[in-house]
A = this chain, B = another copy of it.
Amino acid sequence: MTAYSRLTARAARIATLGEAQAMLGWDASAVMPTGGAAARGEQFAVLASLSHGLSTAPDIADDLAEAEANPPENVWDAENLRLLRAGHTRATALPADLVEAFARVSNECDQIWRTARANADFAAVAPKLAELMGLVREKAQAYGAAFGVSPYDAMMDTYQRGITAADVAPIFAEYETFLRDALPRVEELQNSRPAPLRPQGPFHEDVQEALCRRLSLRTGLEAEHSRLDRSTHPFCGGTPTDVRITTRYSTEDFSKSLMGVLHETGHALYERGLPTAYARQPVGEAAGMAAHESQSLIMEMQACRSDAFLRFLGPDLHTTFGGDAAPYAPENLGRITRRVSRGFIRVDADEMTYPAHIILRFRLEQALISGDLAVADLPGAWNEGMQTLLGITPPNDAQGVLQDIHWYAGLVGYFPSYSLGAMAAAQLMATARREVPGLDDGLAIGDFAPLLGWLRAKFHSQGSRWGFNDLLRFATGKPLDPADFRAHLTARYLA
């Protein structure tokens, strides 16, 4: 066995253990009875500790050095070796006491946050958040030093490699300018048009589930490699050959679950399309969180809210739910599913105002990491930012700085991925439309094969061979270019 093959065997073992963890995670969210929670926590802890033991085995460093002295010629294996090295650098960059303290404090902060959010009481969680941010800063500095990049870039890289804060900042600044001009015009236009007709429920959950599953499979997801279940917090989990989507249903409104399932289906299709020759190797994994979000959003926002697809969807929905046909007319469905509205809550935001929520968090978390912003000043900075970006001020911190779990669980550097994904989705769709004849004609008859075929070839099959901007360069001929996203919004909301 060569040093490189020892490394890949070990990586496969760790990844397989990760699959077991993913499956148990799905189980805990989707089907586990509440009484199983304590035992499940212990199971996760044992698996994590075994995984950690494998990841930090003392002979990895020797194998890496030996493999790097005589690197594989194949570009995929060469990249895989670089990713194995980066993974090892990351796994060994933090002192053990920091890892332990971070695990403990992030768990404590997460718990306190739940109550604080329920009571809209930022002060209750502020001291613990300050302690946690101190640890995040130490972590960011250690990673930054290990990789020779800035602390914040090192954190961003944890979630999405191949794009930096310096790349993102001007893109977000441009978007802010765009939004300041476009948003009032969109609102004016929207207000000048008829209010959407709301389809009359109740919509039986089983009927919704069958509809969601049917449309999810229509995109090209295979029944024998996927499931659709229910959970409080919708997600896409499982493994590439066994992807598990969850959602929750409201009997009053089917559109949220439906679009949610199509969103998760985009994630699922990406996992299904990853290169099987490099399964369970770093280079065979999804390219990062922004890349993943681009795939959920190209499905949900670009394809399934398109004029073309709504022409297919309307009659299908009417057949499914019956009742008055008018609310299911494609134009009306468009008014329902593409409504722009300034709001306080990120996860409820439309695609146009969503980036404002991200820009706010991107700026604040950089300031937190650099130490320019104290935790005590966070609610004020938040509300000020909301006023500047969207012209609204949250009535309380539950609808402001307390709304998202990320920071309170120690996740910093993740937020930009959401909007980078949205922008990449528009760029990918614009390219696909140019390169694939009949793409929208396909969507208009519920045929996703042209789009999926293009995504498979240009994106899914590339695994982690490239960082974010290089992947976009491969797929679209250029790095992230927000002009496509602005053009998409302009066409959809200002035409």
Q: Which residues does A use to contact B, with CB under 8 Å?
A: 13, 16-17, 19-20, 23-24, 27, 31-36, 38-40, 42-43, 45-47, 50, 222-227, 238-242
Asked whether B225 lies within 8 Å of A35 as measured between CB atoms, the reply is yes
Q: Which 6 A-B pairs have CB atoms at the shortest separation, nearest pair first?
A: A36-B242, A35-B225, A35-B224, A16-B46, A20-B43, A39-B241
Q: Is the CB of B239 within 8 A of A31?
A: no
How near does chain B come to A421, taking the closest CB pair, in angstroms? 26
Tell me the smallest distance from the CB of A29 to a CB of chain B, in Å. Answer: 13
The contact sample of 16 A-B pairs, CB cut-off 8 A, is A13-B46, A16-B43, A16-B46, A17-B46, A20-B24, A20-B43, A23-B23, A24-B24, A31-B227, A33-B227, A34-B224, A35-B222, A35-B226, A36-B225, A36-B238, A36-B239
Structural contact, A43 and B19, CB atoms closer than 8 A: yes
Smallest CB gap from A222: residue in B: B35
In the bound assembly, the distance between CA atoms of A47 and B54 in angstroms comes to: 13
Is B32 a contact of A46 with CB atoms below 8 Å?
A: no
* Chain A interface helix/strand/loop/mixed: helix
The docked-state distance in angstroms from the alpha carbon of A13 to that of B49 is 10
Q: Give min CB distance, A6 to chain B, whole Å.
A: 16
Q: Which residues of B contact A241 (CB under 8 A)?
A: 35-36, 38-39
Look across to chain B and name the residue whose beta carbon is closest to the beta carbon of A49.
B13
Q: Complex: how many Å from CA A43 to CA B241?
A: 13
A238 contacts across to B, CB distance below 8 A: 36
**Hey, which chain B residues are within 8 Å of A31, CB to CB?**
31, 227
CB pair B226 A33 closer than 8 Å: yes
- When distances are taken between beta carbons in the complex, the residues of chain B under 8 Å from A47 are 17, 20
Q: Residue of B at shortest CB range from A33?
A: B224
CA distance A265 to B326 in the complex (A): 51
Closest to A242 in B: B36
Write the chain B residue with the least CB distance to A226. B33
Q: Write the chain B residue with the least CB distance to A50.
A: B50
Q: Which residue of B lies closest to A45 (CB)?
A: B16
Q: What residues of B have a CB within 8 angstroms of the CB of A16 in the complex?
A: 39, 42-43, 45-46
CA distance A50 to B16 in the complex (A): 12
The minimal Cβ–Cβ distance linking A222 to chain B, given in whole angstroms, is 7
Q: Which B residue's beta carbon lies closest to that of A20?
A: B43
CA distance A200 to B31 in the complex (A): 34
Apart from A20-B46, A23-B27, A39-B239, 20 more pairs, CB < 8 Å: A16-B39, A16-B42, A16-B45, A17-B43, A17-B50, A19-B42, A19-B43, A20-B43, A23-B23, A27-B27, A32-B242, A34-B224, A35-B224, A35-B226, A35-B242, A36-B239, A36-B241, A38-B241, A39-B240, A39-B241
- State which of B39, B40, B226, B242 has its C-beta within 8 Å of the C-beta of A39: B242
Closest to A51 in B: B50
Residues of B within 8 A of A38 (CB): 241
Give chain B residues whose Cβ lies under 8 Å from the Cβ of A32: 242
User: How far apart sit A46 and B239, CA to CA, in the bound complex (Å)?
Assistant: 15
The answer for the CA separation of A239 and B43 in the assembled complex, in Å, is: 11
Looking at the assembled complex, report how far the CB atom of A41 sits from the nearest CB atom of chain B, in whole angstroms.
10
**Within the assembled complex, what's the spacing in Å between the Cα atoms of A434 and B241?**
56
Residues of B within 8 A of A50 (CB): 17, 50
Name the distance in Å between A243's Cβ and chain B's nearest Cβ.
Answer: 9
Chain B contacts for A226, CB-based, 8 A: 33, 35
Known: A33-B224, A33-B242. A39 touches B19 (CB 8 A): yes
Residues of chain B lying within 8 A (CB to CB) of residue A13: 46
A27 contacts across to B, CB distance below 8 A: 23, 27
CA distance in complex: A43, B279 (Å): 13
Contact with A20, one of B20, B222, B239, B240 (Cβ below 8 angstroms) = B20
Roughly how many angstroms separate A47 CA and B17 CA in the complex, as a whole number? Answer: 7
Interchain nearest-CB distance for A361 vs B (Å): 35
Q: How far is the CA of A379 from the CA of B188 in the complex (A)?
A: 85
Q: How far is the CB of A373 from chain B (nearest CB, A)?
A: 42
Interface hub of A36, A225, A226, A240 (most chain B Cβ within 10 A): A36
